[in-house]
Structure 1
Amino acid sequence: MRIGKLTSSELQKYVFDKTVAKNPEILQSAGLAEDCAALRTPKILLLTTDPITATGNNAGRLAITVSANDVAVSGGTPLCCLLTIIAPTTASAEDVGKFMKEAHETAEALGVDIVGGHTEFSEAVNRMVVSCTMLGTTRRIVKSSGAKAGDSIVMTKSAAIEATAIMANDHADKLLKNGLTTEELVEAREYIAKVSVVEDAKIVWKQNVSCMHDVTEGGVFGAVTELAEASGLGAMIYADQIPVTHLTAKICKILDVSPMRLIGSGSILIVTPDPEKVVKSLRNNGVDATVIGTMRSKKEVTAIGVGKSERLKSAPDELLLIK
Structure 2
Amino acid sequence: MAGTGKVDREFFEGYIYPRLGADRADVALGPRHGVDFGVIDADGTAVVTATDPVSVLPDLGWERAARFALGVILADVAVSGLPPSHLSVAFHLPPEMNDDEFAAVWGAMDEALTDLGTAVVTGHTARYAGCSFPWVGGATAMAVGDHDDVVRPDGARPGDRLLVTTGAGVEAAAMFASLYPDQIPADDAAVDAAAARLPGVDHVRGAVAAAAAGPVTAMHDATEGGLHGALHELAGAARVRVEFERDAVPLPDDVRAVADALDFDPWRATSSGTLLVTAPPEAADRVLDALRGEGLAAADVGRVTDGEGVVADGERVPEPDGDSSWPVYERLAGE
Equivalent residue for 2:78, pick from 49, 72, 80: 72
Q: Which moved more, 1:63-72 or 1:275-284?
A: 275-284
SS in 1 for 2:267: helix
SS in 1 for 2:270: coil
Task: Assess if the C-alpha contact under 8 Å between 1:184 and 1:247 holds in 2.
Answer: yes
The residue type equivalent to 1:62 in the other structure is F
Q: Percent identity?
A: 26
Residues 220 and 278 of structure 1: is their aligned pair in 2 closer, same or farther, counting only changes over 3 Å? farther
Task: Assess if the C-alpha contact under 8 Å between 1:161 and 1:195 holds in 2.
Answer: no
Aligned to 2:319: 313
Gaps of 5+ in 2: 1-41
Aligned to 1:130: 137
Cα deviation for residue 246 of structure 1 reads 0.9
CA distance in 1, matches of 2:47, 2:299: 31
CA distance in 2, matches of 1:284, 1:84: 33
CA distance in 2, matches of 1:109, 1:258: 35
Aligned to 2:239: 232
Cα deviation for residue 279 of structure 1 reads 5.2
The residue type equivalent to 1:71 in the other structure is V
Task: Assess if the C-alpha contact under 8 Å between 1:52 and 1:59 holds in 2.
Answer: no
Residues 185 and 105 of structure 1: is their aligned pair in 2 closer, same or farther, counting only changes over 3 Å? farther
Aligned to 2:38: none
The residue type equivalent to 1:136 in the other structure is A
CA distance in 1, matches of 2:52, 2:291: 29
CA distance in 2, matches of 1:276, 1:100: 37
Cα deviation for residue 231 of structure 1 reads 0.8
CA distance in 1, matches of 2:292, 2:258: 30
Equivalent residue for 1:104, pick from 110, 119, 122: 110
Where does 1:1-323 land on structure 2 (aligned, <5 Å)?
43-53=45-55, 55-56=57-58, 57=60, 58-128=64-134, 129-139=136-146, 140-175=149-184, 178-181=185-188, 183-193=189-199, 195-206=201-212, 207-274=214-281, 276-278=284-286, 281-282=289-290, 285=293, 287-304=296-313, 309-322=315-328, 323=331
Residues 235 and 94 of structure 1: is their aligned pair in 2 closer, same or farther, counting only changes over 3 Å? same
Residues 243 and 298 of structure 1: is their aligned pair in 2 closer, same or farther, counting only changes over 3 Å? same
Q: Which runs of 4+ in 1 moved over 6 A?
A: none
CA distance in 2, matches of 1:223, 1:265: 10
CA RMSD of aligned residues (A): 2.6
Cα deviation for residue 97 of structure 1 reads 2.2
SS in 1 for 2:67: helix
Residues 126 and 279 of structure 1: is their aligned pair in 2 closer, same or farther, counting only changes over 3 Å? closer
Cα deviation for residue 108 of structure 1 reads 2.3
Residues 320 and 201 of structure 1: is their aligned pair in 2 closer, same or farther, counting only changes over 3 Å? same
After TM superposition, the score normalised by the length of structure 1 is 0.76
Residues 219 and 297 of structure 1: is their aligned pair in 2 closer, same or farther, counting only changes over 3 Å? same
Q: Which moved more, 1:143-152 or 1:54-63?
A: 54-63
SS in 2 for 1:243: coil
Residues 173 and 288 of structure 1: is their aligned pair in 2 closer, same or farther, counting only changes over 3 Å? closer
CA distance in 2, matches of 1:75, 1:105: 22
CA distance in 2, matches of 1:280, 1:121: 44
Cα deviation for residue 45 of structure 1 reads 1.5
After TM superposition, the score normalised by the length of structure 2 is 0.74
Residues 195 and 241 of structure 1: is their aligned pair in 2 closer, same or farther, counting only changes over 3 Å? farther
Q: Which moved more, 1:94-103 or 1:207-216?
A: 94-103
Task: Assess if the C-alpha contact under 8 Å between 2:202 and 2:296 holds in 1.
Answer: no
